[in-house]
Structure 1
């Protein structure tokens, strides 16, 4: 039987303890609600960036000495030099007969090839290769229509007064794309350099990883870092889940690139380094509350979003609140992280960033391209109809990154010469040609017509003669071969196909398009690599309004949020139209000499307007676009 006096004593003691417990809980709550105390609790959590540094996040330059053939008597015998001797030695190793005689031919040229291999590239991936003639080889006047034979690309350095070659990293070969507006009289200029789009292939993968700082190095720390990363990221191989991190030594953890971040490796590493080494559930809840406050501040939103993205789907509620902010940067940072978590709510906000804020355009398009959710595809399809060239082409690239077999962007290979896409989209007609990654021509709008009469050159042996609106002749006359002739309508799609049918290359088509634009025969916009720039700065000020007055885009006198370079492109378009109109009005019609006149007068204007996309810079082609901020 229970002693009643003992029971009453226990009850009395409990009543005495209740105020103490309540006081303790109140003090704990007050401590956690205090910002300084909360920051103290958060500071106890060690992130990977506190003890590691990124490794392998830089492009690698590789070079080779190569031989270009198929030149139209514009090559020549290279003078005696170390380059010549190295090429002769390489040709002899490969069993080439009479190498000196081949080098002396005017149809060949000794060239230097180089490429920037991006971080994280995988074995078999392709990259652009830049090709140029050494300065001392003055006999070579042009590389147009040239084809480079296989060259072995490797790291090179001068040691002991000699050029030393390292391990072969890639192979390069293929047809050169040369500036279609190059001046043959310029012996040091555009025609002596070119780019092989996607002409390089990696022979091995480049690894990225995390280096543990010296003060934290140990086998235990390396294992903890690997475990922390693998709790957040994994990949599936043949139905088996495997982590992306592998501790190799006490100071190095090797990483596999997660498919979601294949187009934004720099962000991938930033997110990984925002993962905590160890964290309790209570600490995570407190940290999410703390990061939620920082997310609402534009000054700290970027870092807060990265840390929330590193937490994963548990942080989606906090990020979703960021989408409701009145601040554009807070909304975008939240949407970007949600996109990499593949949340459908991110699609509309990323689409808004592409349309309204040029500073966020590159990152927003990349984020949309990383998603699997149908909402992202819907946004990208809508962006194909925007007036902005960057938005349209960026959306196209993002759709291909999402699924290159998507019927909308799959396109076709025209006689193996280049990838060709005709998109039936809303918005104004536009023609886009690529000078990086791959030979690619896109027609935004299938009904664009060339304005006749006109005469265009497509390479050295193909001529496009616009006789009337319904009659355009494409003729190829090559010495020693029978004449080839195609008669089509003035619809641009028909003309492009006719040029390829008679044997025209990608370079020939691009040359015809640039001449057509310069002569006023192509009425729509012609863009070259209209990719948004990652380096734009966002200034948090009232957004400028764009007022459309006829064909002229005018920026209001308000302070702008971020400068859109496409305003300059619009101005250039107007100048170009004026050039074309004046050329036509001066002669009444374009006769046999019009193409040549346009080449001397109009082409200079086309490729030297304020927007850099209209010109072929000295280093043709974007070797690698850093995917980061």
Structure 2
């Protein structure tokens, strides 16, 4: 039975917004002209003229026209760290600012004989780099990269463990050396080197063994990162900042532990409004920002009704459906009837955009259409699955479970990730903690039967997608087995770090053993079931990178 390793990277793309304006050509013309000539400055009173009560314009000013969003930037972090547990591939680092920095940190921590430790072939000095993501909360994790300096005597980080290191904003200033800023994170964990064949590993493929990644190895020590809106210079004022905060707060809010409603926007200065993320948009913050930009800065009830009528027509046009759905989502729950009506369209693109907006309005009427979009159209798949993960409804669980049995590896893992976001304890996907290093998910997809159209299915192929193994190389250290009955083929000889797995031709059991200096021999006979072998190897001390490499070796012909 062939095992495959599939990678799935979700990229969220912010669709470019555009603005436009139209006027209703209503009679009498003289009355319309007098109503339309009022000031458009956002600093004017909304009730400055009685004529505004009869405003019939569709030229609605949006918040995005007066503001610029910040806080989506990555913050580059760097530090120096010590990797231990290397199998003779370490080395004494030459004199450098990095060595001096590491020695100072080791002395500060009370480490005895730091120079002797650095000279050991089982240790290596590494540069630790990471990017603090936007919207991260204090204590949340992120990926970290480590690499050997160019002049290092060490040759490989394979099997290494990064000791706890601190990361800060740093800059190399001529004449002043390496200057550190505030410490914003710490990092620690086992190092995952890029996947490679055993042949490439023996060749010592250029540079690949000298760098690696620690999945979720960084933890933020900084205060929560929020978004901010900055008013244009020609519109900035305390009053306008407060009005923008009020408009956003009336649309997006949450309840504190006492049940008191709190707006998610707060005016801080005459030009800055701090914006918190609505939890429903946690996995699609770009959508959240689009919706915020299309919240009306000022609009009468009559003007809003006229605009909604215009959007009712536009959402049925594929070229305009995305923009129309975002505007309707920004208006709020009163737009739900319009979006539900769009679900009757024969065009998948129209139904998809309407269903996404409904999902973020906490309405599951479009779940079936989101599942269809994820299944049939690759361009919609990421967004459809993200929207489904925002709907904690039984129907969403059922559709995601069926999508995990599709032929497309991208669809299967995407559906798994969406269901995991909805409910980590769902019995079908619940993971096993492997010594705190990673999660092992064993899905019984062999018991599933797909009843809907599978666009990638081949004649005579399995009706449940067949067996598949997914190993992550970013964010979440996990192994997902699509099919609980998958087995290793014999003959087999693979390694999981210091753990050796062997099986002669025709045997029904594999031998899992570990030989290590100053440790008793460990040896165990287990079935060929992949999940059983993984559990046994971890019990003997195998790490997540070890398991990933083991599976890759077994997959090679």
Aligned residue for 1:152?
166
Mapped contact 1:473–1:486 kept (Cα < 8 A): yes
Aligned mates of 1:339, 1:300 — CA distance in 2: 19
2:143 is aligned with 1:128: yes
TM-aligned CA deviation for residue 512 of structure 1: 1.6
Q: What is the deviation of 1:41?
A: 4.8
Alpha-carbon shift at residue 299 of structure 1 (Å) = 2.2
Q: Deviations for 1:434-485, whole angstroms, at most 9, x for unmatched residues? A: 1112321111111112222222222244233345352211111113322111
Alignment of 1:554-593 (within 5 A): none
> What CA deviation, in whole Å up to 9, does each residue of 1:94-138 have, x standing for no partner?
22222221111111111111112211111111111111111221x
Does residue 305 of structure 1 match 2:305?
no
| Counterpart among 502, 506, 509 of residue 468 in structure 1 | 506
2:247 corresponds to: 228
Q: Secondary structure at the match of 1:438?
A: coil
Counterpart for residue 21 of structure 1: none
Q: Corresponding residue for 1:55? A: 70
Offset from partner CA, 1:28-78 (integer Å, 9 cap, x none): 69x99xxx9xxx955542110010111101222211111111111110011
Q: In the aligned structure 2, how far is the partner of 1:26 from the partner of 1:232?
A: 31
Structure 2 residue 396 is the aligned partner of structure 1 residue 382: no
1:335 offset after TM fit, Å?
A: 1.3
Which structure has the larger Rg over C-alpha atoms? 1
After superposing the two structures, state which structure 1 stretch, 368-377 or 304-313, moved more: 368-377
Offset at 1:278? 2.1
- Aligned ranges for residues 195-344 of structure 1 at < 5 Å? 195-204=213-222, 205-238=224-257, 239-344=259-364
Structure 1 equivalent of residue 7 of structure 2: none
CA distance in 2, matches of 1:280, 1:383: 44
Distance 1:471 1:337 in 2: 53
1:401 to 421, 433, 437: 421
| CA displacement, residues 388-419 of structure 1 (integer Å, 9 cap, x when unaligned) | 11111111111121122222222111233421
Q: Which residue in the other structure is 1:419 paired with?
A: 439
Q: After the TM superposition, which segments of 4 or more aligned residues of structure 1 sit over 6 Å from their partners?
A: none
1:456–1:463: 8 Å Cα contact kept in structure 2? yes
CA distance in 1: counterparts of 2:283 and 2:355, whole angstroms: 17
1:154 and 1:26 map into 2 onto residues whose CA distance is 62
CA distance in 1, matches of 2:63, 2:85: 54
Partner of 1:449: 487
Q: Would you say 1:27 and 2:42 are equivalent positions?
A: no
User: Per-residue displacement from partner, 1:258-313 (whole Å, max 9, x unpaired)?
Assistant: 11011111111111111011222111111111122222222222211111111111
Which structure 2 segments of 5+ residues have no match?
A: 1-24, 37-54, 449-463
Structure 1 residue 190 displacement after superposition: 1.5
Does the residue aligned with 1:78 lie in a helix, a strand or coil?
Answer: coil
Q: Is the 8 A contact 2:499 2:537 kept in 1?
A: no
Tell me which protein shows more helix as a share of its residues. 1
Q: How high is the TM-score relative to the length of structure 2?
A: 0.84
* Partner Cα separation in structure 2 for residue 187 and residue 452 of structure 1: 28
8 A contact 2:126–2:146 mirrored in 1: yes
The 1-side partners of 2:499 and 2:396 are apart by 45
Paired residue secondary structure (1:214): coil
Q: Say if 1:481 and 1:467 are closer, same or farther in 2 by CA, change over 3 A.
A: farther
1:299 partner SS: helix
Equivalent residues of 1:142, 1:184 under 8 A apart: no
- Whether the aligned pair in 2 keeps the contact of 1:183 and 1:189 (CA below 8 Å) is no
CA pair 166-466 structure 1, distance change in 2 beyond 3 A: farther
Q: Give the conservation status (yes or no) of the 8 Å contact 1:471–1:487.
A: yes
Aligned residue among 441, 459, 466 for 2:497: 459
Q: Could you tell me how far 1:237 is from its partner in structure 2?
A: 1.2
Q: 1:389 to 1:463 in 2, by over 3 A?
A: same
Higher relative contact order (CA 8 A, sep 6+): 2
1:84 Cα deviation from its structure 2 partner: 1.4
Q: 1:95 aligns to what SS in structure 2?
A: coil
TM-score normalised by length of structure 1:
0.74
Q: Is the 8 A contact 1:456 1:465 kept in 2?
A: no
Q: How far did residue 327 of structure 1 move?
A: 2.9
User: Is 446-455 or 72-81 further displaced after alignment?
Assistant: 446-455
Any conservation in 1 of the 2:493–2:500 contact (CA below 8 Å)?
A: no
Match of 1:75 among 90, 115, 118: 90
Residue 186 of structure 1, aligned match among 196, 200, 204:
204
User: Is the contact between residue 458 and residue 464 of structure 1 (CA under 8 Å) also seen in structure 2?
Assistant: no
SS of the residue corresponding to residue 318 of structure 1 reads helix
> Aligned pair in 2 of structure 1 residues 86, 321: CA closer, same or farther (>3 Å)?
same
Cα distance change, pair 187–82 in 1 and its aligned pair in 2 (3 A): farther
Tell me the distance in 2 between the aligned counterparts of 1:160 and 1:215. Answer: 40
Which is worse superposed, 388-397 or 182-191?
Answer: 182-191
How far off is 1:429 after superposition?
1.0
State the alpha-carbon separation in 2 of the partners of residues 466 and 297 from structure 1.
Answer: 63
**CA distance in structure 1 between the aligned counterparts of 2:392 and 2:57, rounded to whole angstroms:** 33
CA distance in 1, matches of 2:254, 2:233: 30
CA 1:380–1:28: 2 relative to 1, 3 Å: farther
